[in-house]
Amino acid sequence: MAEVSEILMSVLSTIRVPRPGDRVHKDECALSFATPESEGGLYVCMNSFLGFGSKYVERHHLRTGQRAYLHITRTRKTQKEDENNSGSGDPPKKKPTRLAIGIEGGFDVEREQYEEEVKVVLFPDRQEVTKEDLATMPDVVRDRVMLSINGLMAADSVSHTLQVQQWDGEVRQESKHAADLKQLDNGIKIPPSGWRCEVCDLQENLWMNLTDGKVLCGRRYFDGSGGNNHALEHFQQTGYPLAVKLGTITPDGADVYSYEEDDMVLDPKLPEHLTHFGIDMMTMEKTERTMTELEIAVNQRVGEWEVIQESGTALKPLWGPGLTGMKNLGNSCYLNSVVQVLFTIPDFQDKYVSNIDKILDEAPSDPTQDFKTQVAKLGHGLLSGEYSTDPGDDPSAEHRDDQVGIAPRMFKNLVGRGHPEFSTNRQQDAQEFLLHFINMVERNCRSGLNPSEAFRFLVEERIVCQQSQKAKYTQRVDYIVQLPVPMDQATNTEELQEAERRREEAEAAGTPPPPIPRAKIPFAACLAALSEPETLTDFWSSAVQTKTTATKTTRFASFPDHLVIQIKKFTFGLDWVPKKLDVSIDVPDTLDLSALRATGQQPGEELLPEVAPPPLMTPDVEVKAPVLDDSTVIQLCEMGFPLEACRKAVYYTGNTGIDAAMSWVMGHMEDPDFAAPLVLPGSSSAPGTTPTESVSEEHLATIVSMGFSRDQATRALRATSNVLERAVDWIFSHLDDLESMDVSEGGRSEGASEGSRDPPPGPRVRDGPGKYELFAFISHMGTSTMCGHYVCHIKKDQQWVIFNDQKVCASEKPPKDLGYLYFYRRVAE
């Protein structure tokens, strides 16, 4: 022990005590998904506080020279618990009564109990030092090491801090209307029971408006149940903002909804407001479920969405390489589904998994913050099979067919950091996350293989002026095909009409409406809706120098190796309330899009005269400010948009009309400089001088990685005030201009011969036949993308497999007609 004491004394200066703000990784390995519960436990560096599994701790020691690690092992205590009290002596598990996590009455967080053992391990010989051993060592050694141990054990781990352990969904804000709510003296008095909707006589889901006392039914739910929207319609007609749900009033309070604030709210003057209409809170009893109870019921019924989750079938659990489940970290099923699909694609496997040893060897000192390392860690965790075992042999699996799986906490934290939505534990849109992740891959793959190229393709838009019959061609890059859902093309129209007739009869009779059948839409109709010409009624034609009608057709200028199709199920009703289209689409297993290949300019076809594109503030060209179409600017301003934003919209769309300008506005409303003054060329830098605005090196690298030269990327960024998204749009709409640029990269002089020039600029896209086969799809359950649940189905070795978070099973009836995102791969000819 004297020898060990001497070693500790020699490394004492490297043993730190955690301070506030230090990131302590004591629950998860930085390079794998090993935890203190894993075989071999977890080793926490007592200097950097990074955690490493037994497989990687040696690597960290050799690379850094650190010798002292705190070895943490946890063993799960055996805990038998039965919801109906099996006689174990423990109380039965209580059902949640509160829409919350980690507080009394809410949903439980993990309740496992562990026996924990800690000791110091000294490398390279792995000499172990227990607390009892430390007691026999010199005071200076014992005190310093014990301070570090106690500090590490007391500190919150990063994963624990990031995981929402306590969340209360019932915390409501006081309504801004409550304090000064005006109530009409109309003599209305509400009886304590026997309520009916004053419009349709419905007797449930009733809301009383707190301004005029009107009793009306609530909103209609996505499945046709609920009310008939009469309370909402009353607000839209009168503007009276607050309503209380009858049947939820008790001496403790009631459900109050603010239509203007679009949320459940608090009304501190509720007793007074109810008394105005003859309601005494102290004598009322609850007769209906509150909105919270309804939400809790939905959260408990996730397993009842039988079709998509195949819950009605006894599914065979699967495990092994490529069949690893993922823990749901709290509404992270959208992330789980997307990455499960991505890591079946060879490009992502080759980039991040095949050379994982090289990636880990080159990882920075803090690999938890490195994008490439964490993506490689995730891919290896999913494909290696190390974390995929027979769930029947694992006592920690909650259900017989649930794996323990991997918990992508570090990955989720890294890809969501700084993002207003993905950094939260709220449910998100899987399509938006897919694009967000592809964007991160683009930014982090400035050299070498870029796996997002597997999805990248070019779209050609052809606009034909109907007055002059002259055409204009533009190209843009895209990653996802968005298919519209033409509801008027349903093949079961008669069944839908009959259901609507029965619903109207039920509404008139004041009885609950019958279920609404699912509309059946042919996939061919969706594809036709995508490819059919779109009429532009307010197109400014450069040929006739006035506004006229034009048609726009969209075609594929290239076909990607992997095609992603999004079914546009989410839309807005006439009242601008978001809703999900309940449709069944016969999505095919094979797909031939060859007929949608773009053909470019046709023989004998005349092109529209070039509208002067947004000029560039370049040091070698003097340009004049363009004349903006004032009528379009005025139209946009009348819609309520800022003047400068309207001027930018007209400017950046080249005076091409209100439709194009409106599209620009909707696509740039979140830009930080949306309402900033439009700086016209020549106004901020004189001819022959260098523009004062610097160009972001990160943005330059991103555009260059797409196949453009540095000069071209610089020009695009300067033309768009250094905004990356706008620069990418600009560069694809100015390919003709860019082709004439002299490229001076790579040491080549500007006066190089024509034969030595690079090929015409453009994005680095792959192209090939437009024939595909379906290999995966992601399905969504719920009323909107912001709630509900996602699962994915992936075809592996000709067998469909369902990935439902930790549950990985052979699929018996893959619901291919109910998907949201579909993934196809090119069929080799």
63 annotated as ligand-binding: no
Annotation-wise, does 319 bind a ligand? no
For the record, the structure tokens of 617 come out as: 């503030």
Predicted pLDDT at 827: 93
Say whether 177 counts as a known binding-site residue. Answer: no
- What confidence score (pLDDT) does residue 129 get? 94
Total Cβ atoms within 10 A of residue 283: 10
Domains of the chain (ranges, CATH numbers)? 4-78+113-163 (3.30.40.10), 206-299 (3.30.40.10), 313-392+401-454+768-826 (3.90.70.10), 459-571+584-596 (3.90.70.10), 630-668 (1.10.8.10)
User: Cα angle vertex 799, ends 796, 802, to 5°?
Assistant: 80
* pLDDT classification of 327: cutoffs 50, 70, 90: very high
Among all residues, which ones are annotated catalytic? 333, 789
Please report the DSSP string for 16-34 in residue order.
Answer: ----TT--B--SS-SSSS-
CB of 526 closer than 8 Å to CB of 569: no
Query: Per the annotation, does 809 bind a ligand?
Result: no
pLDDT above 90: percentage of residues in the chain: 48
The single-letter DSSP state of residue 101 is E
Is 586 a known ligand-binding residue?
no
Average pLDDT over the chain reads 81
Question: Was 526 annotated as part of a binding site?
Answer: no
Buried b / exposed e over 109-146, threshold 16 CB at 10 Å, is eeeeeeeeebbbbbbeeebebeeebbeebeeebbebbb
- pLDDT at residue 130 above 90? yes
Q: Tell me: is residue 217 an annotated ligand-binding position.
A: yes
262 is in an annotated binding site: yes
Residue 221 marked ligand-binding:
yes
Q: Is 790 annotated as a binding residue?
A: no
User: Is the model's pLDDT at 61 over the cut of 90?
Assistant: yes
User: What per-residue confidence (pLDDT) applies to 741?
Assistant: 47
- Select the highest-mean-pLDDT range: 68-77, 584-593, 739-748, 780-789: 584-593
For residue 506, what pLDDT band results from cuts at 50, 70 and 90? Answer: confident
152-199 pLDDT, tens digit each:
998 877 765 555 433 444 467 899 999 999 999 999 999 888 899 999
76 marked ligand binding residue: no
Tokens of 271: 């007793």
**Per-residue model confidence (pLDDT) at position 112:** 52
Pairing between strand 127-129 and 100-101? unpaired
Q: How many CB atoms neighbour CB 370 within 10 A?
A: 20
pTM equals 0.68
pLDDT tens digits, 684-743: 333 333 333 467 777 777 777 777 777 788 888 877 777 777 777 777 666 655 554 433
Q: What is the pLDDT of residues 551-571, one digit of tens each?
A: 999 999 999 999 999 999 877
Task: Judge whether 723 and 671 are in contact, CB under 8 Å.
Answer: yes
Average pLDDT for 310-334: 85
* Residues above pLDDT 70, as percent of the chain: 78
Judged by average pLDDT, the poorest of 239-248, 351-360, 704-713 is: 704-713
